[in-house]
Amino acid sequence: MTQVYRLILPRIDVAMESGKIVEWVKKEGDRVSKGEVVAIVETEKAAMEITSDVNGVIIKILHSSGEEVKVGEPIAEIRID
């Protein structure tokens, strides 16, 4: 059975409510390892790297570069190896 992990936009500080996806480092179909950078997100205070929590393959990117995403929203789906 295939397991899918939903990568969410984490809250970096207590005031953070959303972040803008600046760049996707990985694209759909790319393999990722736990701890590997998947995307760069900009908040009011800084740019940050979003890393994968699992080993797998990105099967769906849910938000485009330039989009504002609320904290806790999924930004990508990864099929777990």
Give residue-wise pLDDT tens across range 27-48: 999 999 999 999 999 988 889 9
Sheet holding 4-8, edge to edge: 4-8, 74-80, 56-61, 31-32
CA–CA distances in Å: residue 58 to residues 35, 46, 81:
14, 25, 11
Confidence band (pLDDT; 50, 70, 90) for 2?
Answer: confident
pLDDT score of 47:
92
Report domain extents, the chain: 4-80
pLDDT digits (tens, 9 = 90+) for 14-32: 888 999 999 999 999 999 9
Rounded to two decimals, the pTM is 0.92
**Cα(52)–Cα(42) distance, integer angstroms:** 17
Q: What percent of the chain has pLDDT over 70?
A: 100
Which region holds residue 64: left if phi is over 0, alpha if psi is between -120 and 50, else beta?
Answer: beta
Was domain 4-80 assigned CATH 2.40.50.100? yes
